[in-house]
Amino acid sequence: MRTLAIILAGGTGKRMGASTNKQFLLLDNKPIIVHSLKVYEECRCIDGIYLVVNQKDLPFIQEEILETYRFKKIMKLVIGGRLRQDSVKNGLEAIEEPCDVVVIHDGARPFVSPAFIEKGISLMEMFDAVIPAIPVKDTVKVISKDGFVSKTLARDSLWHVQTPQTFKYSLILKAYREGMAKKLYGYDDATFIEFLGKKVKVVEGSPYNIKITTPEDLAIAKGMLSFLKGTL
């Protein structure tokens, strides 16, 4: 079962309040994206990596990532689009070699583990789409435009969705092509599978698998890294 990974590194520093792409901020003296790429490089089930980047970031990627860290599994750099879903579709369309399964991951989630990736891939024998998620701990309310509570949602049925999300390649490509042609908006990759009326299997995610988006997230990530190293 040939498995390729699409790793998204085309974000910006907007919510981070930084002038640079958030994936290039340093965590333990390495760019965040390097931590994510290293995990996929070491994962025995991943045969190749398609790295999706902004056009303007190509020089940095070439000089500071590819030449410095020499990742062997990166097969192609793909230019991303305006929205995340545009970037994912570009990555899917860029795959030219045989591919049975594709794993889609946010480059700003550096604490994913090879075992976690392999779990999703192993379930492709039984399912077409597998995503990780963790139960919501807080009460979630729907707030109206004028700032009042309009509904309180049942917490026991709500989950925070994460990446990596794992799919049969032919199905997710079809889902993206049809969904984008209809100008649908996908909150995550699995949303496009849902648009097709197909089932998405949910597995337990990890509380460590955070997405670094804001300065607070970066501070948490630094503390988490120390904890995981046993130095906190």
Residue 103 near residue 5, CB atoms below 8 Å: yes
The per-residue pLDDT for range 112-155, each reduced to its tens digit, is 999 999 999 999 999 999 999 999 999 999 999 999 999 999 99
Please state whether beta strands 30-31 and 26-27 pair in parallel, antiparallel, or not at all (unpaired): antiparallel
Geometric angle at alpha carbon 47, from 175 and 88, rounded to 5°: 30
For the stretch 201-229, pLDDT in tens is 999 999 999 999 999 999 999 999 888 77
Ranges 9-13, 134-138, 194-198, 204-208: which has the least confidence: 9-13
| 128 within 8 A of 199, measured Cβ to Cβ | yes
Strands 3-9 and 26-27: unpaired
Tokens, residue 78 = 């793909």
The mean pLDDT of 2-9, rounded to a whole number, is 97
CA 158 to CA 152: how far, in whole Å?
A: 12
Q: Tell me the average pLDDT across 151-160.
A: 94
- Regarding beta strands 165-168 and 129-135, do their DSSP bridges make them parallel or antiparallel, or are they unpaired? antiparallel
Query: Mean pLDDT across the stretch 62-71?
Result: 93
> Given pLDDT bands bounded at 50, 70 and 90, which one contains residue 12?
low
Tokens of 80: 């991303």
Q: Are 105 and 164 in contact, with CB atoms under 8 Å apart?
A: yes
pLDDT band, residue 165 (cuts 50/70/90): very high
pLDDT score for 232: 46
What percent of the chain is predicted at pLDDT more than 90?
89
Cα-based distances in Å from 158 to 133, 154, 155, 223:
10, 7, 5, 27
Query: What's the N-to-C CA distance of the chain in angstroms?
Result: 40
Alpha-carbon dihedral of residues 25, 31, 33, 38, nearest 10 degrees?
-160
Q: Can you give the pLDDT at residue 203?
A: 96
What pLDDT does 17 receive?
A: 55
Cα-Cα-Cα-Cα dihedral of 25, 29, 30, 36, to 10°? -90
pLDDT given at position 154 = 92
**What domains can you pick out in the chain, each with its CATH number?**
3-130+160-229 (3.90.550.10)
Calculate the average pLDDT of the chain. 93
Mean pLDDT calculated for residue range 80-97: 96
Cβ(135)–Cβ(162) below 8 Å? no
Residue 10, pLDDT score: 83
For residue 83, the tally of other CB atoms under 10 A from its CB is 12
Nearest-10 crossing angle of helices 169-181, 84-94 = 130
